[in-house]
Amino acid sequence: MNLVYYALQQLINALSIGSLYALMAVGLAMVFGILRLINFAHGDLMMIAAYFAAFALFANLPLPLAIGIMIVGTILVGLIMERVAYRPIRGAPDVAALLTSFAVGQILQNGTLLITRLLQKPSPLAFPVIGILSGVFAFGPITVPRVNVVSLIAGIVLLVLLSLFVTRSNLGLSMRAAAEDLHAAQLMGIDINRVIATAFAIGSGLAAVAALLYAVQAGQLTPYMGFTPVLKAFIAAVIGGFGTIAGAVVGGYALGALEVFLTAIPGIGDILPPGLVSPEVQTFLKTWLPGSLTSYRDAFVFVALILMLLFRPGGIVGRREREEMQ
């Protein structure tokens, strides 16, 4: 039965990491959907969020207040970023927007570096321990880190709220319309500045929550920590189908599942209970899928990404290019 528990545990891990990727990818996808802008500063926004949370907790604020400050602060930074950096270049070639997003990222990184130096904080900065997010939950023989369970729940709750927002509210509907046809949306009487600001605000808020959970797992903060998450979010969004919220969510969970699978399968030969498979198979697994393969996980992820781009560039939920051309 060992194996069933192991599989269950990995499933929870997959869903929890998938939730984080989905939360991060949604912000990228919403902004890209409307503006055709790949906002690489999205990861740096997460870094800022983690610092907001850390400083609020260092000041001994209660956790809900610290989370509130983090979310509001990150949304403000996201809105300022849109207003100051992206709105003036709206309509410029895509490459200009992309380069601007790198510049914004650099400014956020160096700004954070400067402020932490001025405050004489070390880098990397240890993330404060949050009681209810540390330790493990034990469900019978299965033990899962609390932060994973919280990630899973937070991800599902927030994504359900988001889907209600985009399907039920007028503003959400306007957002989907703007993503499909910006000019036609304007002719409906939609204020696109408001819609774009909303997309940035929601994306920033979701990224902030993901950043907190990510920082708890990472345990430490640096001004450069945003790179890996934004890359993962980007991959997730591409795998799912770039530019749509559904694609970002599906891609997030697919990437989470893929990563956990790639971590869980190597070394499987070592944990199989004796007698479950024949010794030959066990030897085969130990030889060809050694635990050390785990360190190549990201390489396999990129292979999956390349295969996806080659054979289904529209992503899992995206329509095929051929259909779109008709």
Binding site for another protein (CB under 8 A): 170, 173-174, 176-177, 180-181, 183-192
- The answer to whether the Cα torsion of 171, 98, 124, 294 is positive or negative is positive
Q: Which tokens sit at 276? A: 């479950």
Report the residue number, 117 or 319, with the smaller CB distance to another protein: 319
Write down the least CB distance from residue 36 to another protein, Å.
Answer: 16
Report the residue number, 186 or 228, with the smaller CB distance to another protein: 186
> Judging by beta carbons within 10 Å of its beta carbon (0-12, 13-18, 19+), is residue 90 exposed, middle or buried?
middle
Please tell me the distance from the alpha carbon of residue 4 to that of residue 11, in angstroms, as a whole number: 10
Helix (H, G, I), strand (E, B) or coil at 135: coil
Write down the least CB distance from residue 85 to another protein, Å.
Answer: 21
Report the residue number, 181 or 321, with the smaller CB distance to another protein: 181
Strands 142-145 and 125-126: unpaired
Please tell me the distance from the alpha carbon of residue 63 to that of residue 222, in angstroms, as a whole number: 21
Start-to-end C-alpha separation, the chain: 52
- The answer to whether the Cα torsion of 249, 258, 229, 5 is positive or negative is positive
Write down the least CB distance from residue 3 to another protein, Å.
Answer: 43
Q: Which tokens sit at 76? A: 């403000």
Please tell me the distance from the alpha carbon of residue 77 to that of residue 167, in angstroms, as a whole number: 27
Write down the least CB distance from residue 243 to another protein, Å.
Answer: 11
Write down the least CB distance from residue 255 to another protein, Å.
Answer: 24
Write down the least CB distance from residue 22 to another protein, Å.
Answer: 20
Write down the least CB distance from residue 182 to another protein, Å.
Answer: 10
Report the residue number, 45 or 237, with the smaller CB distance to another protein: 237
Q: Would you say 226 and 246 are in contact if contact means Cβ atoms under 8 Å apart?
A: no
> Judging by beta carbons within 10 Å of its beta carbon (0-12, 13-18, 19+), is residue 210 exposed, middle or buried?
buried
Number of residues in the chain: 326
What are the helix and strand counts (H, E) for the chain?
14, 4
Report the residue number, 26 or 152, with the smaller CB distance to another protein: 26
Report the residue number, 28 or 245, with the smaller CB distance to another protein: 245
Report the residue number, 170 or 278, with the smaller CB distance to another protein: 170
